[in-house]
Amino acid sequence: MDRRNDYGYRVPTFQSKHPNGEERTGSNYRRIPWGRRPPPPRDVAILQERANKLVKYLLVKDQTKIPIKRSDMLKDVIQEYDEYFPEIIERASYALEKMFRVNLKEIDKQSSLYILISTQESSAGILGTTKDTPKLGLLMVILSVIFMNGNKASEAVIWEVLRKLGLRPGVRHSLFGEVRKLITDEFVKQKYLEYKRVPNSRPPEYEFFWGLRSYHETSKMKVLKFACKVQKKDPKDWAAQYREAVEMEVQAAAVAVAEAEARAEARAQMGIGEEPRYSFGIFVHTAA
């Protein structure tokens, strides 16, 4: 728990009637460090209200695909209920799953970063493309180069491939913008890729790895199948990669089961989902 941290937070000088819609303008607020305030009593209604607010906050913030910091959630939404953060985030996580079939995942326990992942098989393309489709297509190409190359690829190799697609560093593309910035900066911030300097390289050389988000949003098997589709080969033709992809799937399944169990236990303890009538006003219908 982060109780020891002294976050400055803003105390409203009036009691806000509306759970949503209030604008926080700086002039109305005093700054009181959380540490000095007594924690408010546990009130399920308010915890649920904060959780609902957190759901919207996460849905909006996730649009940028830049991982969300726990400290931002605490500052912007949770505020004086920071002591109840674990319960609030569990309630939010439950609502996200039940309403949007989206998983809230902590991808970096050290820096407390979270992302939202869709848990359903993608319906991509059913209504044509969105503005993100070209970028994600390009990403898929890069992820497959990295994987097929043994889970890392030098910048030189990546550019070789991109040049074949007509993309060049420093040249603005109508769909991707400046491609070098996209792959070394934007995709890195979004945790789709990692861009690291090759140790002891002089002049400095860089290589690409899969980012944490890529591991969660796709799988080595999916990427292998994509690469094989392009090459018109069978995934099993790439024996080493195929073995690795299968192994990752097994591991991922085991992790998913363990996580689901842990979540179910936590929720049972917190009384989340037990009485949906009284917590959310929704009946949770589990489809047969």
Contact positions toward other proteins, by CB under 8 A?
Answer: 18-21, 23, 44-45, 48-49, 52, 55-56, 59-61, 63-64, 95, 98-102, 118, 120, 123, 126-127, 130-131, 277-285, 287
d(CA 62, CA 56): 10
* Residue among 18 and 30 whose Cβ is closer to other proteins: 18
DSSP string, 141-185: HHHHHHHHTTS-EEHHHHHHHHHHTT--TT-EETTTEEHHHIIII
HSE (side-chain half, CA atoms, 13 Å) at 260: 8
| Minimum separation from the CB atom of position 162 to other proteins (A) | 22
| Minimum separation from the CB atom of position 25 to other proteins (A) | 11
| Minimum separation from the CB atom of position 160 to other proteins (A) | 29
| Minimum separation from the CB atom of position 102 to other proteins (A) | 7
d(CA 18, CA 24): 12
| Terminal C-alpha separation, the chain | 39
* Residue among 62 and 207 whose Cβ is closer to other proteins: 62
* Residue among 1 and 45 whose Cβ is closer to other proteins: 45
* Residue among 99 and 253 whose Cβ is closer to other proteins: 99
* Residue among 22 and 234 whose Cβ is closer to other proteins: 22
d(CA 115, CA 89): 13
* Residue among 139 and 228 whose Cβ is closer to other proteins: 139
| Minimum separation from the CB atom of position 269 to other proteins (A) | 18
Dmax of the chain from CA atoms? 67
What number of residues does the chain have? Answer: 288
* Residue among 32 and 59 whose Cβ is closer to other proteins: 59
d(CA 146, CA 19): 46
* Residue among 63 and 110 whose Cβ is closer to other proteins: 63
Decide: residue 122, CB within 10 A, 0-12 exposed, 13-18 middle, 19+ buried: exposed
Handedness of CA 120, 122, 123, 127 (dihedral sign): positive
| Minimum separation from the CB atom of position 23 to other proteins (A) | 6
d(CA 151, CA 223): 12
* β-strand partners of 154: 207
The total of other beta-carbon atoms located within 10 Å of residue 32's CB is: 14
User: Position of tokens 């050290």?
Assistant: 110
| Minimum separation from the CB atom of position 24 to other proteins (A) | 10
| Minimum separation from the CB atom of position 68 to other proteins (A) | 10
